[in-house]
Amino acid sequence: MNLTELNKIAAAMVAPGKGILAADESSGTIKKRFDAIGVESTETNRRDYREMLFRSKEAMSQYISGVILYDETIWQDAKDGTPLVKLIEQSGAIPGIKVDEGTQALPMCPGELVTVGLDKLAERLKKYYDRGARFAKWRAVIDIGSGIPSMTAISVNAHALARYAALCQAAQIVPIVEPEVLMDGDHDIDRCFEVTSRVLNMTFQELRVQRVALEGMVLKPNMAVSGKKCAKQASVEEVAEKTIRLLKACVPAAVPGIAFLSGGQSDQEATAHLNAMHKLGPLPWGLTFSYGRALQAAPQKAWSGKAENVAAGQRAFSHRARMNGLASKGEWQSSLEQKAA
């Protein structure tokens, strides 16, 4: 393991003004997104859509540091035969790969899940590295509800995240460690804070036990937010303050950077929250975005599967990428959204 090189890549992934595009939706998830815009989810349409994003010169060169790919996408070539990973590299961004294989029910823990995919991961990582991937992602899912999460669910998912991270670093790949506490319930922000604190503490405990070099990883956590069904939604300022307090208490300064997931927030909510956090600096780590839907909903709608809409889709993507790039430096203003509307 060359830790200097891993640290260099991790730092580039969270460079000021740039963030990570999560284009790693599973076939099932992207089908739902395409259904919403009336596009059939064929391999060709998925390729064309992602090629549109990766050829968005302004967004990719100025605001996107890396792209998380799905297994199908990393092996695909663009219409002209150029591997999609090469398009990403040519823009100056870093190709990455989602390596978990989804979730299964956790035995003895009703309503809870464990992420799977560690079997043969070492072999898969070598193939991904040879294809051009320099970072990877593994997502653990922790739900909040009546009597959950259990310590069992937190522990087994943290253990799997750390095993994955160690395998990545052994393969000279930077691991994105993603323990996501879902925002689907009716819990308030303080319950989210408490659960996320437990999850992060257990995750870093496991990372240390399994000898993962913190300097060669990126954390992808949820923000401290109210559940979607909670009657009282926390303000932008409260989300920012509590998230930063949580991270300072749980995330060692050795970690080069934190790239938030959007987790079901609207486009502008995710941008506003990230921007507000940068008003609370200085921070011990880089702080940026790793958004999927919050970067892609607008370009998907603008594109709608039509070749004549590619330029409009790229403009929509560039706008959202720029807004989040500004937010990752604390320079975003809501008036910038109105001007572009």
Kindly name the residue from 25, 51, 112, 178 that is annotated as catalytic. 178
How is residue 173 annotated by DSSP? -
Alpha carbon distances (Å) from 8 to 215, 218, 284, 338? 9, 12, 17, 37
Cite the beta strand spans of 91-167 per DSSP E: 94-98, 103-105, 113-115, 135-142
What the block records as the tokens of 43 is 């391999």
Please name which of 287, 288, 260, 262 lies closest in space to residue 183, comparing C-alpha atoms: 262
Which residues in 86-206 belong to E strands, given as ranges?
Answer: 94-98, 103-105, 113-115, 135-142, 174-181
User: Is 178 among the residues known to form the active site?
Assistant: yes
Catalytic residue among 18, 98, 137, 220: 220
220 is catalytic: yes
In this structure, the number of other CB atoms found within 10 A of the CB of residue 242 comes to 19
Residues labelled as active-site residues: 178, 220
